[in-house]
Each structure stands twice: as C-alpha cells, then as structure tokens.
C-alpha cells in the first residue's frame, strides 16, 4: 500500500481572518474588502495590502531576542492547533518531531524600525539581529515546544512554504521524524513593498489577477501551519512537484515551461492524471508576465473544465507564506467540516478578464455549487523569483479529523 501523509491539523491567519472559520467565511463571501490602503510603507505612495488587523498574541517572554511581528503571526496560527500539538508531544519523543517553515522577510520590519531609530540618534536597545534572521521562526518554535528534532526554514521567495511540504514528507519518509510541524509565515515590511515598487510591479489599487487592466500585486502578510504524519487524515498530501527555470532573476519563462514542469511533476508524484484535479489555486499575482505564462501552462496541461482561481486579490501576496496559506485554503475547501455545502468560492471579479490570455476555466462566479465527488483534489501553484517553482497536490481522505 502506498504510504499516506496526512495533514491532521491546520491553523491560519491572514487578511481573510484570524482562524479557520473566519477565513473560510470571508473567502466564500468572495469580496476583497479585507484589503486596505496604507500610506506608511512606500514614500509618497498609497498601496493596497493584505494586513492582519486583529490583536495578535504575545511572544513567549523567555526569548525576547527572538520577538517580532512575524513570530506573533506564527503564534496566532500555532495556538489554533494547540490540542493537536499536545497530542503529538505525548506520542513522540522531542527528538522525533521536526519543524520546517517557509519565510522570506522574517522579522525585517523590526530591523527597519531599529534602523530608523538609529538614524534619529536613538539606539534601540531591545532590537536583536536574531529577530530578522531567516531561521528564527523555526528556532523560536523549537524552543517554545521543547523539541530537539530537525528545525529549519526554507527561503526561496514566493515558493518558500510550498517547498516545505516536500521537505516535511522527506523527513517522515527517511525516518528522521515521526511528525512534522510545517507551514509558512511572513509579515509586512517596507523593504518588500519598496523593492516591488522599484520593479514597477505594485498595483495602483486592488490587484486584478488575469484582468485586462492588471498592473501588479498587492502584498500581504499571514501564517499557516500544519501537522504532517505518516498516517491517513481527512486531508492528505498526495504529491509535490518542483522545477527551476533559471530563466531570469525576476521574470518567469514566458511560455511557462518551468511552471508546466512543476505541475506535471506534482501530478506524476500523486499518480493522478490532469482530469483528476478538481480545483487549482493559481499563483495568479496579477502581473502581466506571471498571469500570461501561467495561463499558457494550465491550458496545455488541463482540460477547459478544470476550475481555477487566484486568491491573492483577497489575501494579498503573502510571499514566503503564500504556499502555506494557499494550501490552507485548499485544505478548508476539501474539508467537510468547513465546506459543508460543497461550494467553490469564486473570484467575484469586478473587472474584465483578459481574453487575450490562454483560455482557462476561471471560477469567477461566487459560491459555485459542487458535489462531494467533484471536489476531491486540489493543486496549489507557487512560482518564485529566479524560477523556483513548487506545486502541491492535496486530496480528501476517508478518516474523520
């Protein structure tokens, strides 16, 4: 029998909400009211961002040198799976529980504030460089839970927390861990916004994925975490595909050959044919080049009946956390405890779709009614700078959560 890798627990926080039910309800409502205008991130410019506005939990007081907003977002997601964490802590030795997280900014925003204070002549005694190190989320979580197994972060820009699914599965398959806490976390910072602004990739208002007048991305923040074990669960990891374009530092390969390679690798890994995929969460950044190449790749692989959508106009592009958050949305979509009525949230776009793009089945109407049989599997696309691509396939199991 093929080994099954179950995702038995999930916690999420992003612009859509601060827990699973809120996120599902807001996504299903199909609007982008969760996005907000901010004038404090890019000089003399107002940008739309997917910020988390709810009060965040405090960081553990034992390690103040690791505290940051990024860690608070991680805490908010981890608290949602507290009971499941306690269960695996009782079942397994601390050395047999691993942590793999994706991030791209870590605590950079705290470093920005410290630098601003330093320029103003006020030394920030509370700032520690460890707050913005890429590996800090994994280090913090390992300390908090008292674990001693493998613990590290992956930072490959926008594919960071999609790649954690492959890494977590490998740790289990190789016998290096009995359970893995995996996911991604990223927080808003000026460095990212100004960098994308310099690339002329930031939307003037709301992002318009696959829109005729699309003009760039909205940045977001958030976290999503899972527990993976080598046992079936209600939602299981079926496959992961990765590829590397190495085409350009920031632009995708125009025909989407690298994206297609990752998609086909994920399908092969899952032992599924394209017709067996029920929904695709597209990378869908709303930049000219990404949407153009992604539509081509999807068109070549899938039939015109396969539903797809981008959720970045509702969450913002959460960068290193995007893979985890968008797979968390797929987890909610597949889970009968949340998607009780078997509905597919649509993009509910209020703009014209670009008909010059390769034709794909965008779910633009909201709350499309499906049957349980027609909603069994999902793909989530993550395509990063430098051509670092990852595609994750999830599927519904037959075990009660």
pLDDT tens, residue by residue, 167-201: 999 999 999 999 999 999 999 999 999 999 999 99
The 10 Å Cβ neighbour count of residue 246 is 11
Q: Is residue 15 part of a domain?
A: yes
51-65 burial code (b ≥16 CB/10 A, e <16): bbeeebeebeeebee
Active-site option among 59, 67, 313, 317: 317
Q: Using the structure block, give the residue that is written with the tokens 């410019």.
A: 45
Average pLDDT of every residue of the chain = 95
For the entire predicted model, the pTM comes to 0.97
- In the chain, % of residues over pLDDT 70: 99
Which structural domain range is residue 319 located in? 5-396
Give the pLDDT of residue 186: 98
Give the pLDDT of residue 398: 67
Total domains in the fold of the chain = 1
The three-class DSSP label of residue 13 is strand
Distance CA 379, CA 188 (A): 26
Active-site option among 14, 59, 283, 381: 283
Torsion of CA 260, 266, 267, 271, to 10 degrees: 160
Q: Is residue 401 part of a domain?
A: no
Q: Is residue 224 part of a domain?
A: yes
Q: Active site includes 317?
A: yes
Token pair, residue 136, equals: 């800090």
Confidence of residue 401 (pLDDT cuts 50, 70, 90): very low
226-243 burial code (b ≥16 CB/10 A, e <16): bbbbbbebbbbbbbbbbb
Q: Is residue 360 part of a domain?
A: yes
Instruction: Flag the least confident range among 47-56, 313-322, 392-401.
Output: 392-401
Q: Is residue 319 part of a domain?
A: yes
Q: What is the CATH number of the domain that holds 349?
A: 3.40.47.10
Q: Is residue 373 part of a domain?
A: yes
Q: Is residue 321 part of a domain?
A: yes
Contact 48, 108 (CB under 8 A): no
Helices within 183-334 (DSSP H only):
190-198, 257-270, 288-301, 312-315, 322-334
Q: Active site includes 283?
A: yes
Confidence of residue 362 (pLDDT cuts 50, 70, 90): very high
Active-site option among 158, 189, 330, 393: 158
Encode pLDDT of 266-314 as tens digits.
999 999 999 999 999 999 999 999 999 999 999 999 988 999 999 999 9
The three-class DSSP label of residue 102 is strand
Q: Is residue 74 part of a domain?
A: yes
Q: Active site includes 67?
A: no
Torsion of CA 39, 42, 46, 50, to 10 degrees: -80
| pLDDT score of 95 more than 80 | yes
Give the pLDDT of residue 126: 84
């Amino acid at each position: 029998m093929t080994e099954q890798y179950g995702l038995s627990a999930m916690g999420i926080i992003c612009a859509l909400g601060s827990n699973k039910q809120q996120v599902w309800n807001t996504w299903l409502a199909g609007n982008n009211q969760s996005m907000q205008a901010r004038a404090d991130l890019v000089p003399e410019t107002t940008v739309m961002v997917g910020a988390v506005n709810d009060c965040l939990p405090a960081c553990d007081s034992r390690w103040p040198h690791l505290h940051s907003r990024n860690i608070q977002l991680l805490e908010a997601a981890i608290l949602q799976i507290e009971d499941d964490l306690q269960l695996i802590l009782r079942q397994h030795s601390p050395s047999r529980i691993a942590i793999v997280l994706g991030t791209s900014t870590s605590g950079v925003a705290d470093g920005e504030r410290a630098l601003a204070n330093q320029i103003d002549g006020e030394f920030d005694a509370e700032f520690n460089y460890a707050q913005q190190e890429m590996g800090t989320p994994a280090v913090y979580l390992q300390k908090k839970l008292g674990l001693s197994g493998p613990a590290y972060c992956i930072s490959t820009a926008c594919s960071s927390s999609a790649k954690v699914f492959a890494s977590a599965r490998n740790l289990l398959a190789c016998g290096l861990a009995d359970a893995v806490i995996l996911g991604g976390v990223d927080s808003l910072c000026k460095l990212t916004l100004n960098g994308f602004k310099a690339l002329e990739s930031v939307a003037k208002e709301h992002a318009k994925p696959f829109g005729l007048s699309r003009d760039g991305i909205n940045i977001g923040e958030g976290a999503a975490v899972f527990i993976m074990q080598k046992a079936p669960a209600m939602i299981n990891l079926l496959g992961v595909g990765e590829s590397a374009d190495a085409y350009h530092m920031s632009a995708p390969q125009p025909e989407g050959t690298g994206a297609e390679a990752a998609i086909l690798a994920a399908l092969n890994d899952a032992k599924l044919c394209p017709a067996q995929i029920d929904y695709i969460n597209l990378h869908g950044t709303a930049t000219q080049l990404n949407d153009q190449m992604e539509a081509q790749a999807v068109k070549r692989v899938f039939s015109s009946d396969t539903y797809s959508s981008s959720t970045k106009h509702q969450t913002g592009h959460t960068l290193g956390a995007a893979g985890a958050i968008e797979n968390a949305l797929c987890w909610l979509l597949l889970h009968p405890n949340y998607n009780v009525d078997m509905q597919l949230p649509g993009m509910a776009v209020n703009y014209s779709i670009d008909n010059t793009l390769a034709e794909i089945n965008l779910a633009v109407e909201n709350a499309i009614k499906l049957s349980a049989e027609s909603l069994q599997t999902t793909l989530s696309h993550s395509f990063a700078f430098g051509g670092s691509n990852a595609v994750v396939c999830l599927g519904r199991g037959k075990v009660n959560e």
